[in-house]
């Protein structure tokens, strides 16, 4: 049975257990993968008629007899491949060291001495511990990407719906570093821009997922190339009496049993460096995107335009600070992970890849929680928009009147004087007074149509609505990205489309 499942299978697993990422990287999961890798190796070697040596007792000098792996040997190993939490928690299987190499050797002895003693002389023959550790990393990465991709697809579904629901809803954006310091757009366009970036990240994760392959059976680290002796064991090539085609066939059989489409045994070091670098960069981009979302949320919250439904008692947001913390943590781990000099399998109590995926899943989970809890305050947004209207309309008005051969400096002087005349009025009346005095001003009263069009141009969000449709509308960018995950999304949202239960009063007797 293949250990690497397709995305649809991973979607079902993620749906059934919201702590799937934790369970995937648990000790029982790791030990199960190790034992399966040993089983697949022995199974493949048996298919290729590998011969192993068994020492003859009391022989001097030491003598050996040749044997082959038989079905009973494999069956005994197969029965102990699945490690449960109960087994991990027993005293005899507790890890004595955080070093995975020593932990792996301890598991080797648990199998050969206790669980499957028939495997004593042939378990893991011809390979080093790197076969187990490196292939485990690829299997875990595949499963983790499946889980993360499905979680990200659900977030995109929420963002798409929120953007479409708020496609025409006005909001004010301040961007002091740009030529347009203040302008009107829509909540839908801003959320759609988040979705577009996250959709690109999803696509990158998908491409990476399709490129993952097995490490093969041969020694795969640079220091082991050309020297595959491990605890005085024979090499795989020596076991196959120099037949390189059998080694290649073995790699292919292992690839199939692991469920991969590709095998990188011949150039694994380069593949591993490239894959880890890509994964680190994508996760870093995810963290950076989350930080930009936090900045947008802080901007909206400062004016009360878009706020959380469940703020703290002092009115401040709850989850956006958590998102900032999670995003920072993800970016720090990403930088470390993509460094090829950092070991991914040695000397850590927890795989660095475990920390990477857990932080990434946390970022996605917090983002979804924020989106599901956002509330648009139309009154605050409208008030802020009209407070800024005199500043926003000045540019369009100057452009229109300049086309009518009016002097730009004269226009700006009159606008400044009108602005100064209303400064001492209450803030809620300043915009009304500004527009009223503008319409009745001796210079502007003949340009009433241009004033009205300048105000309308500021509020024109046609372009924003078109962008939302292109990104989040039917057959849009996000819709195409979500096609492979529609089944998962339907399961996750099945209860949302159901009518609420109606409770009828009991009939009297």
Residues 9-60: pLDDT tens digits?
444 443 444 478 888 988 889 999 999 999 999 999 999 988 888 888 888 8
Q: Is 375 helix (H, G, I), strand (E, B) or coil?
A: strand
Give the pLDDT band of residue 220 (cuts 50, 70, 90). very low
Contact 283, 363 (CB under 8 A): no
pLDDT for the residue 12? 46
- Spatial separation of the C-alpha atoms in residues 157 and 486, rounded to whole Å: 9
Residue 394 lies in a domain: yes
- Spatial separation of the C-alpha atoms in residues 282 and 319, rounded to whole Å: 23
* Domain count for the chain: 2
Give 174's strand partners. 182
- Spatial separation of the C-alpha atoms in residues 121 and 267, rounded to whole Å: 30
Mean pLDDT, rounded, for 180-184: 67
Instruction: Determine what percent of the chain is predicted with pLDDT higher than 90.
Output: 36
Contact 72, 323 (CB under 8 A): no
Q: What is the pLDDT of residues 84-100, one digit of tens each?
A: 887 777 756 666 556 67
Q: Show Cβ contacts of residue 404 under 8 Å, excluding neighbours closer than 6 positions.
A: 447, 450
pLDDT for the residue 345? 67
Residue 49 is part of a domain; what is its CATH number? 1.10.275.10
Start-end of H helices in 304-407: 319-337, 352-372, 378-387, 389-403
pTM beyond 0.85, yes or no = no
Pick the residue with more confidence: 362 or 222?
A: 362
Of the spans 80-84, 131-135, 157-161, 343-347, which averages the highest pLDDT? 157-161
Instruction: Determine what percent of the chain is predicted with pLDDT higher than 70.
Output: 83
Instruction: Pick the range with the lowest mean pLDDT from 94-98, 136-140, 287-291, 351-355.
Output: 94-98
Q: Show Cβ contacts of residue 108 under 8 Å, excluding neighbours closer than 6 positions.
A: 123, 124
What's the chain's average pLDDT?
82
Residue 15 lies in a domain: yes
Q: Residue 36 is inside which H or E element, if any?
A: helix 27-47
| Angle ∠(352,353,355) on CA atoms, nearest 5 | 65
State which of 130, 155, 172 marks the end of a domain. Answer: 130
Residue 50 lies in a domain: yes
Of the spans 99-103, 341-345, 366-370, which averages the highest pLDDT? 366-370
Give the pLDDT band of residue 376 (cuts 50, 70, 90). confident
Q: Is 157 helix (H, G, I), strand (E, B) or coil?
A: helix
Residue 51 lies in a domain: yes
Measured in Å, how far apart are the chain's first and last C-alpha atoms? 61
- Spatial separation of the C-alpha atoms in residues 334 and 276, rounded to whole Å: 9
pLDDT for the residue 505? 47
Q: What is the pLDDT of residues 454-494, one digit of tens each?
A: 777 777 788 889 999 999 999 999 999 999 999 888 888 87
Give the pLDDT band of residue 258 (cuts 50, 70, 90). very high
Pick the residue with more confidence: 289 or 7?
A: 289
Contact 396, 183 (CB under 8 A): no
**CA within 13 Å, CB half, 237:** 9
Residue 171 lies in a domain: no
- Spatial separation of the C-alpha atoms in residues 218 and 127, rounded to whole Å: 6
Mean pLDDT, rounded, for 181-190: 83
pLDDT for the residue 182? 74
**Residue range(s) defining the domain that contains residue 20:** 7-130
Secondary structure (DSSP) of 104-146: HHHHHHHIIIII-GGGTTTTTTT--HHHHHHHHHHHHHHHHHH
Of the spans 37-51, 341-355, 366-380, 416-430, which averages the highest pLDDT? 37-51
Residue 350 lies in a domain: no
Q: In 10 A of CB 153, how many CB atoms? A: 27
Contact 352, 336 (CB under 8 A): yes
pLDDT for the residue 429? 75
Say if residue 347's pLDDT is above 60.
no
Residue 87 lies in a domain: yes
pLDDT for the residue 5? 45
Structure tokens at 454: 């300048």
Q: Which residue has the tokens 């070091």?
A: 269
Per-residue CA distances from 167 to 171, 189, 315, 463 (Å) = 11, 7, 27, 11
Instruction: Pick the range with the lowest mean pLDDT from 153-162, 371-380, 404-413, 490-499.
Output: 490-499
State which of 92, 113, 130 marks the end of a domain. Answer: 130
Per-residue CA distances from 40 to 77, 81, 255, 256, 258 (Å) = 10, 10, 10, 10, 8
pLDDT for the residue 176? 56
pLDDT for the residue 147? 95
Residue 53 lies in a domain: yes
Structure tokens at 60: 């001097």
- Spatial separation of the C-alpha atoms in residues 11 and 54, rounded to whole Å: 46
Whether the bond into 11 is cis, omega within 30 of 0: no
Q: What is the pLDDT of residues 287-306, one digit of tens each?
A: 999 999 999 988 888 888 88
pLDDT for the residue 310? 60
Q: In 10 A of CB 43, how many CB atoms? A: 16
- Spatial separation of the C-alpha atoms in residues 6 and 252, rounded to whole Å: 19
């Amino acid at each position: 049975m293949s250990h690497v499942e397709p995305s649809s299978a991973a979607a079902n697993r993620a749906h059934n257990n919201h702590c799937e990422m934790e369970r995937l990287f648990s000790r029982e999961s790791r030990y199960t993968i190790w034992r399966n890798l040993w089983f697949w190796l022995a199974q493949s070697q048996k298919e290729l008629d590998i011969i192993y040596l068994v020492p003859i007792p009391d022989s001097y000098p030491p003598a050996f007899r040749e044997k082959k792996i038989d079905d009973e040997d494999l069956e005994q190993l197969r029965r102990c491949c699945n490690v449960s939490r109960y087994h991990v928690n027993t005293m005899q299987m507790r890890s004595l060291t955080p070093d995975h190499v020593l932990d792996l050797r301890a598991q080797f002895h648990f199998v050969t001495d206790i669980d499957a003693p028939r495997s004593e002389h042939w378990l893991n023959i011809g390979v080093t511990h790197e076969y187990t550790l490196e292939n485990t990393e690829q299997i875990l990465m595949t499963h983790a990407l499946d889980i993360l991709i499905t979680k990200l697809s659900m977030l995109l579904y929420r963002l798409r719906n929120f953007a479409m629901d708020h496609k025409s809803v006005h909001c004010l954006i301040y961007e002091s570093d740009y030529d347009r310091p203040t302008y009107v757009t829509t909540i839908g366009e801003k959320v759609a821009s988040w979705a577009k970036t996250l959709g690109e990240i999803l696509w990158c994760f998908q491409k990476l997922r399709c490129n993952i392959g097995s490490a093969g059976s041969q020694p795969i680290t640079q220091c082991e190339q050309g020297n595959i002796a491990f605890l005085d064991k024979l090499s795989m090539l020596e076991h196959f009496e120099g037949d390189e085609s059998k080694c290649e066939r073995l790699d292919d059989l292992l690839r199939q049993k692991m469920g991969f489409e590709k095998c990188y045994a011949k150039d694994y070091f380069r593949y591993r460096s490239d894959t880890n670098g890509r994964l680190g960069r994508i996760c870093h981009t995810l963290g950076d995107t989350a930080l930009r979302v936090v900045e947008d949320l802080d901007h909206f919250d400062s004016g009360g335009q878009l706020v959380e439904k469940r703020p703290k008692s002092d009115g401040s947001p709850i989850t956006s600070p958590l998102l900032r913390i999670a995003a920072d943590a993800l970016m720090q781990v990403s930088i470390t992970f993509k460094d090829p000099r950092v070991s991914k399998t040695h000397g850590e109590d927890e795989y660095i890849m475990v920390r990477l995926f857990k932080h990434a899943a946390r970022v996605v989970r917090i983002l979804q929680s924020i989106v599901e809890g956002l509330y648009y305050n139309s009154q605050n947004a409208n008030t802020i928009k009209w407070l800024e209207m005199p500043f926003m309309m000045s540019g369009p008005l100057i452009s229109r009147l300049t086309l009518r051969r009016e002097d730009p400096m004269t226009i700006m002087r009159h606008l400044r004087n009108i602005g100064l005349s209303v400064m001492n009025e209450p803030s809620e009346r300043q915009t009304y007074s500004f527009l009223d005095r503008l319409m009745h001003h001796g210079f502007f009263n003949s340009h009433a149509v241009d004033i009205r069009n300048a105000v309308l141009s500021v509020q024109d969000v046609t372009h924003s609505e078109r962008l939302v449709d292109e990104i989040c509308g039917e057959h849009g960018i996000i819709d195409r990205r979500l096609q492979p995950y529609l089944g998962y999304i339907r399961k996750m949202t099945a209860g949302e489309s159901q009518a609420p239960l109606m409770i009828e009063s009991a009939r009297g007797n």
